[in-house]
């Protein structure tokens, strides 16, 4: 679990991001004011800070400077201020990344993961639930070998390779030879149902294979 402090005065946005990030095992603590954020930072341990700039009481740039004086915690600035001068100042104050608003929450997740993997190389292994062994034609979940048909193996291996990217049913049919005989797009849904059962995914609230309405699926390997 990655613990993130988010200093953001737009509560609706903060709650939206918190809800989305929680699905990827990222725990978010929200502070709506700079003073609350600094107090939480002193009282608790966090892995990363997501920081808005246009805040009441104190500008986010000053918060960035103060926190960087005390800690090497990764800092992602999340701001509607997209002027190059703001970006330059943010990096000069110690920010590790700068994400202009508006953005898709998935992009924030990508950037958090990238920073965590860079800072903690061992975490890359820990974050992956499924591992593919091509030589043995096996896929493991937390080290345990899954019992899969050829089509199921090929689908999971392909989706893991495109971790978190949306994959259409048509793409699966075109790129996976073992299911080309299954000409119906609906048959992909049937196979996905079997795969979800075998990998222990909750069909009502899936964690690993996420349905994208009208398109296909997305695999989340963590």
Q: Are 77 and 139 within one domain? A: no
Q: Where residue 204 falls among pLDDT bands split at 50, 70, 90?
A: confident
| Structural domains in the chain (count) | 2
| Pick from 36-50, 137-151, 167-181: least confident | 167-181
Q: Considering 96, 124, 152, which residue would you say is the last residue of a domain?
A: 124
30 or 144: which leads in pLDDT: 30
Q: Are 30 and 72 within one domain? A: yes
Q: Are 169 and 200 within one domain? A: yes
Q: Considering 124, 145, 180, which residue would you say is the last residue of a domain?
A: 124
Q: Are 92 and 173 within one domain? A: no
Per-residue b or e along 111-143, where b marks 16 or more CB atoms closer than 10 Å to that residue's CB: bbbebbeeeeeeeeeebebbebeeeeeebeeee
For the cut 60, the answer to whether the pLDDT of residue 214 exceeds it is: yes
Q: Are 119 and 142 within one domain? A: no
For the cut 70, the answer to whether the pLDDT of residue 125 exceeds it is: no
Are 50 and 108 spatial neighbours (Cβ–Cβ below 8 Å)?
yes
Residue 211's Cβ-side half-sphere holds a number of Cα atoms within 13 Å equal to 14
Which CATH number characterizes residue 182's domain?
1.10.10.10
Q: State the Cα–Cα distance between residues 72 and 65, nearest whole angstrom.
A: 11
Q: Are 103 and 141 within one domain? A: no
Q: To which residue do tokens 């949306």 refer? A: 166
204 or 15: which leads in pLDDT: 15
Handedness of CA 5, 6, 7, 12 (dihedral sign): negative
Which CATH number characterizes residue 16's domain?
3.40.50.2300
For the cut 60, the answer to whether the pLDDT of residue 122 exceeds it is: no
Structure tokens, 33: 């004011």
Q: State the Cα–Cα distance between residues 3 and 35, nearest whole angstrom.
A: 19
For the cut 80, the answer to whether the pLDDT of residue 24 exceeds it is: no
Rounded average pLDDT over 89-101 = 94
Q: Considering 75, 97, 124, which residue would you say is the last residue of a domain?
A: 124
Q: Are 164 and 106 within one domain? A: no
Q: CA of 144: how far to CAs of 115, 140, 163, 199, in Å?
A: 28, 5, 20, 10
| Pick from 40-54, 102-116, 182-196: least confident | 182-196
Percent of the chain's residues with pLDDT above 90: 58
For 209, the domain range is 128-219
């Amino acid at each position: 679990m990655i613990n993130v402090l988010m200093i953001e005065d737009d509560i609706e946005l903060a709650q939206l991001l918190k809800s989305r990030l929680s699905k990827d095992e990222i725990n978010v603590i929200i502070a709506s004011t700079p003073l609350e954020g600094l107090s939480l930072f002193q009282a608790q341990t966090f892995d990363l800070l997501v920081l808005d700039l246009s805040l009441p009481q104190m500008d986010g740039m000053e918060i960035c400077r103060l926190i960087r004086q005390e800690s090497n915690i990764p800092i992602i600035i999340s701001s509607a201020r997209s002027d190059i001068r703001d970006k330059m100042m943010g990096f000069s104050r110690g920010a590790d990344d700068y994400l202009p608003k508006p953005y898709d929450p998935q992009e924030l997740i990508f950037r958090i993961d990238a920073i965590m993997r860079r800072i903690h190389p061992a975490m890359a292994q820990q974050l992956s639930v499924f591992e593919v062994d091509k030589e043995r034609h096996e896929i493991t979940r937390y080290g345990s070998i899954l019992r899969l048909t050829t089509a199921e193996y090929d689908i999971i291996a392909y989706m893991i390779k495109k971790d978190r990217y949306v994959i259409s049913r048509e793409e699966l049919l075109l790129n996976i030879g073992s299911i080309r005989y299954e000409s119906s797009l609906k048959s992909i849904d049937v196979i996905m149902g079997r795969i979800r059962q075998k990998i222990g995914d909750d069909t009502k609230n899936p964690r690993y294979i996420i349905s994208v309405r009208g398109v296909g699926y997305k695999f989340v390997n963590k």
